[in-house]
Structure 1
């Protein structure tokens, strides 16, 4: 009886260890390229609050993310590099042509409830949730204002992309204090660094 109990315990331990390893593996993603989507652009300015225009902030952070990823040996594809209007479907189509990739759409938020502040990361798929979790943790630990958490979202760029995809709201420019931070290039660099670190944390080695 004791022998049987010992064997059962050993099997249980093996399953536990195996399960833990499986869960750890499931929490990482395999990709070599990041498609970086700077939100809005051209005739679509996005949110405009406290003297800030969302489309400009999005492109600035997107370029910083690109530089950070390239310096760490990852390939990147940008959906826009200039103040150009790009249809949402076109952004998704471009992304879907890129092999071994994840998709990160960069935005800044606005709300009539100007007390709200902090980043938000949206996902739609299970693999997107893995990416969102890693980026949210990174922003929370590295950036003043932090992250309000991850949320399920059915945005078009999340619905139509076929790879793990997230939409990162970097902060609420409708909040005066947060708008002041977002206007500072040093803060935008910290946001970009946090997004890069989150992507690397989610990537399978």
Structure 2
């Protein structure tokens, strides 16, 4: 009986090792940009929120020892295929798309994380958990989706929606640096957990 238990534990350990994904580079993709403002309310534009959060994420990841690549570093437009051209040049990397949500239903709020493939689901779970540990908002969960960037990326990839620009309370929070930084730190936590 003891030997069977030992073999079972060894098998579990080997499975965990085989499921691990070795990477040192994180592709960070701030959604929208340029003429594509994304969700907006008054002068609050998703493209600006996404870029600021992405730059903060890059800073936290660099401190952890990761290599980073941003698909844009200022307010200009990059096409969806262009974003994938950048991301798919890399191997031993992961891809994170940063967005903020919008809906005509002003009462809707919360953070959600999307994935497409099975390996990406594990990344999405880790990233989402990391974010939810950093901010106290409605948890909209981890969801499968067919968004262009996560469907066409060859790397483990996720798309994070950091709250609703259309919700008054969430919009007030996302306008503050501490909230965007908390989301960035949470994503970085999730990246670190995924690599272990």
Is 1:90 the counterpart of 2:82? The answer is: yes
Give the counterpart of 1:111 among 103, 117, 124: 103
- 2:34 is aligned to 42
Unaligned 5+ segments in structure 1 are 1-5
State the SS of the aligned residue for 1:80: coil
Count how many residue pairs are aligned between Structure 1 and Structure 2: 196
User: Map of 1:48-197 to 2, 5 A cutoff?
Assistant: 48-49=40-41, 51-145=43-137, 147-197=139-189
Conservation of the 8 A alpha-carbon contact between 2:113 and 2:161? yes
1:94-115 per-position Cα deviation (integer Å, ceiling 9, x unaligned): 1111221100000000112222
State the SS of the aligned residue for 1:104: strand
Displacement over 6 Å in runs of 4+: none
Bigger Cα Rg = 1
Change (3 A) 1:185 1:112: same
State the SS of the aligned residue for 2:17: helix
Please state how far the C-alpha of 1:38 moved relative to its aligned partner: 0.3
Aligned equivalents of 2:45, 2:19: Cα separation in 1: 35
1:88-146 per-position Cα deviation (integer Å, ceiling 9, x unaligned): 01101111112211000000001122222111100001111011000111111111215
Aligned equivalents of 2:43, 2:136: Cα separation in 1: 20
Aligned equivalents of 1:184, 1:192: Cα separation in 2: 13
Aligned equivalents of 1:83, 1:132: Cα separation in 2: 27
Please state how far the C-alpha of 1:54 moved relative to its aligned partner: 0.2
